[in-house]
């Protein structure tokens, strides 16, 4: 069934707890040899409608059963990543009725967890790189706007509290930018995501929002060329450049509550014949019995 415009994708959630399963698969191919990295998470989201004149929602997102499958990471490295990720487990996000992040509640709790986590990790992980990372963490969690942006860019948070909530007119294209750091080591790149309202599909129960992405400029490309040289990966400077061979996202929403039921994003990135990256992110609501 074709949607009737305008579509107002705003939240109408009731208080309760939802469980999700999140999977992240990353395939890196260099000179024809592929390495796979996988991360699986289960987490639950407690949703609460806050009292007041302005409609606002509180999200508490707690992650558990976090499993890394990456043969190139040692057990200690996996443990290190888990401990860093655990800092966010007590976070409360406050959004408006369009899912737009208003503030991170009780940021002082996060700051306290950072201090305690850094103190514990510094006993096991030492050296210049570790010290630089600890300093970065302490500084980062003092700045609420940075924490908020990071949550929305983070795969599991951003796939629930998504920027594509909003009001859609038939002719309007909705866009926003997302920054990625994992297409290649030591690089950043901006992707412009966009929704064409005509691509939406809906029925009485479900709304499907599809979006695509492109690289809007050649900004930061030198980072990629520099990394290719450092890794001694051959490329043709005249014909090879960073590009998206595929960037497709699908969000399946409950038509009445606009709650995310399932969200999948597939990315295929390449820089010439000798370097390709494929990323598949998938989040799906599951029942308590499926845990």
Using the predicted structure, report yes or no on whether residue 270 has a pLDDT greater than 90: yes
Strands (E), the chain: 7-9, 16-30, 33-50, 56-69, 92-96, 101-105, 166-168, 174-180, 189-195, 201-202, 206-214, 243-254, 260-270, 275-286
Q: CA angle at residue 149 from 11 to 7, to 5 degrees?
A: 30
Average pLDDT, stretch 201-229? 93
Mean pLDDT in the chain?
A: 88
Percent of the chain with pLDDT over 90: 40
In this predicted model, which residue has the larger pLDDT, 227 or 91?
227
Those residues whose C-beta lies under 8 Å from the C-beta of residue 39, and which sit 6 or more positions away, are: 22, 23, 24, 66, 67, 68, 69
Architecture of domain 7-290: Roll (2.30)
d(CA 37, CA 25): 6
How many DSSP H helices and E strands does the chain contain? Answer: 6, 14
Q: Residues 6, 10, 12, CA angle at the centre, nearest 5°?
A: 130
Tell me the per-residue pLDDT of 11-39, one tens digit each, with 9 for 90 and over: 877 777 889 999 999 999 999 999 999 99
* Residue 107: predicted pLDDT: 86
Q: Which pLDDT tens digit goes with each residue over 150-198?
A: 777 765 677 888 778 888 888 888 898 888 889 998 899 999 999 888 7
pLDDT exceeds cutoff 80 at 10 = yes
pTM for the model stands at: 0.85
């Amino acid at each position: 069934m074709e949607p009737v415009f305008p579509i107002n994708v705003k939240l109408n959630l009731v208080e309760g707890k939802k469980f999700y399963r999140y999977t992240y698969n990353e395939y890196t191919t260099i000179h024809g040899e592929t390495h796979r990295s996988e991360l699986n998470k289960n987490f639950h989201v407690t949703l609460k409608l806050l009292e007041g004149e302005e409609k606002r929602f509180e999200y508490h997102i707690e992650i558990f059963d976090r499993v890394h499958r990456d043969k190139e990471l040692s057990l200690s490295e996996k443990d290190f990543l888990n401990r860093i990720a655990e800092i966010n487990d007590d976070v409360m996000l406050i959004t408006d009725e369009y899912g737009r992040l208003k503030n991170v509640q009780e940021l002082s709790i996060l700051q306290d967890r950072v201090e305690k986590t850094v103190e514990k990790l510094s006993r096991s992980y030492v050296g210049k790189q570790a010290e630089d990372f600890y300093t970065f963490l302490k500084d980062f969690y003092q700045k609420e706007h940075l924490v908020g942006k990071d949550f929305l860019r983070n795969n599991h948070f951003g796939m629930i509290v998504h920027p594509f909530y909003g009001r859609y007119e038939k002719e309007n294209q909705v866009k926003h930018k997302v920054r990625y750091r994992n297409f290649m080591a030591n690089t950043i790149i901006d992707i412009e995501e966009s929704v064409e309202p005509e691509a939406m599909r809906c029925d009485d129960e479900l709304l499907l929002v599809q979006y695509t992405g492109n690289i809007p400029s050649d900004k930061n490309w030198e980072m990629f060329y520099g990394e290719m040289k450092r890794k001694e990966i051959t490329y043709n400077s005249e014909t090879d450049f960073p590009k998206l061979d595929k960037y497709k996202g699908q969000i399946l929403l409950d038509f009445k509550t606009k709650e995310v039921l399932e969200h999948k994003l597939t990315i295929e990135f390449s820089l010439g014949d000798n370097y390709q990256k494929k990323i598949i992110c998938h989040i799906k609501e599951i029942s308590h019995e499926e845990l």
